[in-house]
A and B are shown apart, each in its own frame.
Chain A
C-alpha cells in the first residue's frame, strides 16, 4: 500500500478511535519499514500498534511487544494473566 493511502487510513482510524484498524495499519506501516531495514521508523510504528493493542486488550499486544523487545526497544511483558 502506498504511504499516502496508509496515512489516510490511519488518520481515519484515529478519527473513529477504531483500535482494531489502528493496530492493523500501524502494524502494516511497521512491516513496510522493517522490510526496508529502517528500524527506527519500524519501531515507531510498532510502538503505536502495541499501545493500542495493549489499551484494548487485543491479543496482538503480546507479539508486538515481543517484536519491540527483539529490537531492544521495550521490556518484554508478561501477558499470561
Chain B
C-alpha cells in the first residue's frame, strides 16, 4: 500500500536517527502529501495583519494552490475565506484592495459581506428577481477558513481538524507570555522577502539550529559565541535556539529602541528564535521581534516573507527611523547569508545515495525535533 520508505529511522532518537529521506524534498508526490497532512492539517502561517491594516482591506493569497482571501472586517477582526464564489466558483478578489461595502463577484455580481455572508444574488430568480425559493442565502456564505492571529501572523488550519490554536500552541504561548503584548510593524524597510530555491523544510531546519552560526555568520558570532546558545525543543510542537548574550543595537548617539514593557531580567541579554511548526519562524528580543512566514511554492522553491516589529509604532518614534533601517539591514544580511546553505542542502538532496543524513546528538536536537514532527504528521496522514 505504502510505496514510500517507512519513516521509522527518522522517528528514532536523535543520536541514531536519520533525517527525512530525499523524496521529502524533491518528490512532487510527497509535496502533495505534505500539503494535506502537514500544512493543511495544522496551523500554518499565510500572512500578516499589517498587510490588511484598515477596515475593508482585502488581500488574496495563494496557499499551496488554494486561493484564500484575508479580510479585515468593520469590527477590525481579521477573517480568512476561501476566495471562491459560491455560485460558479469564480475567484472573487484577485489583487489586494479596499472593499467599500461588499465583496462583489466579478462574474454575476453575487455580493458578500466582509464577514462572508451572502448579501445579494442579483437576477437569481430571473431578470429583476433577486431571490429564488431554492437559493437559500444563509447556506451560501463564503467558506470560512479557521484562522488565528498571533504576533501579527495570520495562521490558518485549512482542514479544520487541528486543536484550537491556544491549545495546540499552549506551551509556546506560556513560554513567551511576557511578550504577549502589541507589536508594531517597523514600516517599509522592515519588510522583505527572499525567493529561495529550496524546500520549505530546509529553511525551518536551518533556522532552528545554532550549530552553523560560527561558520555561516562569523560576524554575528563575534558577539554571540556558540556556547552562549542553548537548544529549545518541545517534542511535537516547536524547536529553536536561545542566546544568553543578546546585545541591543545602538546608533551613533548611543540610542537604542525602546523595550517591550514589563519584561523580566531574563530578557536583558536573552533572546529566543523558534520555529513554530510547520512554517512560521519567530524571534523575540527585548526591543524588537520578527516573524517569518515560509511560503512553500513547490518542493524546490520557497518564498520567505520576513517582517520586523517593535515595541513602539513608527509614528510615535520617528527618531528611530535610521536605527530601524540599520537593524533591518543587519537581519537582511544574516538571512541572506543563509541562502546558499538552504539552496545547497536542496541541491545535495538530489544525490540519490544520500540517506537523509545524521544528526549531531549535541547540536542538532532542534532539527531532529522538527523531522520527528513532520514524520509523525506524514505517518498520521498515511494511517487515515
Interface-facing stretch out of B118-126, B192-200, B276-284, B351-359: B118-126
Q: Is the CB of A54 within 8 A of B102?
A: yes
Distance to closest chain A CB from B236 (angstroms): 42
In B97-113, the 8 Å CB interface with A consists of 100-104, 109, 111
Q: Is the CB of A43 within 8 A of B120?
A: no
Assess A73 versus B120: contact at CB under 8 Å? Given A51-B104, A53-B101, A54-B101.
no
Hey, which chain B residues are within 8 Å of A48, CB to CB? 122
Hey, which chain B residues are within 8 Å of A6, CB to CB? none
Q: Is the CB of B100 within 8 A of A47?
A: no
Q: Binding site of B, secondary structure by majority: helix, strand, loop or mixed?
A: loop
Hey, which chain A residues are within 8 Å of B87, CB to CB? none
In B110-151, the 8 Å CB interface with A consists of 111, 119-120, 122-123, 127-131, 137
Q: Complex Cα distance A57/B73, Å? A: 13
Distance to closest chain B CB from A60 (angstroms): 11
Q: Complex Cα distance A68/B123, Å? A: 12
Q: Is the CB of B130 within 8 A of A77?
A: no
Contact of B74 with A by CB under 8 A: yes
Distance to closest chain A CB from B373 (angstroms): 42
Q: Is the CB of A55 within 8 A of B104?
A: yes
- How many cross-chain pairs have Cβ atoms below 8 Å apart between A and B? 61
Hey, which chain A residues are within 8 Å of B131, CB to CB? 73-75
Q: Binding site of A, secondary structure by majority: helix, strand, loop or mixed?
A: helix
Distance to closest chain B CB from A15 (angstroms): 15
| Residue among A41, A43, A50, A51 having the largest count of chain B Cβ atoms under 10 Å | A51
Contact of A10 with B by CB under 8 A: no
Contact of A63 with B by CB under 8 A: no
Contact of A58 with B by CB under 8 A: yes
Hey, which chain B residues are within 8 Å of A55, CB to CB? 100-104, 111
Q: Is the CB of B101 within 8 A of A75?
A: no
In B210-245, the 8 Å CB interface with A consists of none
Distance to closest chain B CB from A57 (angstroms): 3
Q: Is the CB of B100 within 8 A of A43?
A: no
| Residue among B111, B127, B129, B131 having the largest count of chain A Cβ atoms under 10 Å | B129
With both beta carbons as reference points, the residue of chain B lying nearest to A75 in the complex is identified as B131
Hey, which chain B residues are within 8 Å of A47, CB to CB? 122-123, 128, 130
Distance to closest chain A CB from B110 (angstroms): 9
In B174-192, the 8 Å CB interface with A consists of none
Assess A50 versus B101: contact at CB under 8 Å? Given A40-B128, A55-B111, A81-B74.
no
Which single member of A42, A61, A74, A81 contacts B130 (CB below 8 Å)?
A74
Q: Is the CB of A73 within 8 A of B111?
A: no
Q: Is the CB of B122 within 8 A of A75?
A: no
Distance to closest chain A CB from B128 (angstroms): 3
Distance to closest chain A CB from B377 (angstroms): 41
Hey, which chain A residues are within 8 Å of B127, CB to CB? 40, 43-44
Q: Is the CB of A77 within 8 A of B119?
A: yes
Q: Complex Cα distance A30/B137, Å? A: 25
Q: Complex Cα distance A48/B122, Å? A: 8
In A21-76, the 8 Å CB interface with B consists of 39-44, 46-48, 50-51, 53-58, 61, 68, 73-75
Which single member of B103, B104, B128 contacts A46 (CB below 8 Å)?
B128
1/0 contact string of B71-106 vs chain A (CB within 8 Å)? 000100000000000000000000000001111100
Assess A75 versus B100: contact at CB under 8 Å? Given A46-B128, A51-B120.
no
Assess A44 versus B128: contact at CB under 8 Å? Given A54-B102, A56-B101, A61-B101.
yes
Hey, which chain A residues are within 8 Å of B128, CB to CB? 39-44, 46-47, 73
Q: Complex Cα distance A47/B131, Å? A: 11
Assess A54 versus B111: contact at CB under 8 Å? Given A47-B122, A77-B119, A81-B74.
yes
Hey, which chain B residues are within 8 Å of A73, CB to CB? 128-131
Q: Is the CB of A57 within 8 A of B122?
A: no
Chain A residues engaging chain B, CB cutoff 8 angstroms: 19, 39-44, 46-48, 50-51, 53-58, 61, 68, 73-75, 77, 81
Chain B residues engaging chain A, CB cutoff 8 angstroms: 56, 74, 100-104, 109, 111, 119-120, 122-123, 127-131, 137
Q: 12 other contacts beyond A57-B101, A73-B128, with CB at 8 A cut-off?
A: A19-B100, A40-B128, A41-B128, A43-B127, A51-B111, A51-B122, A54-B101, A54-B119, A73-B131, A74-B120, A75-B130, A75-B131
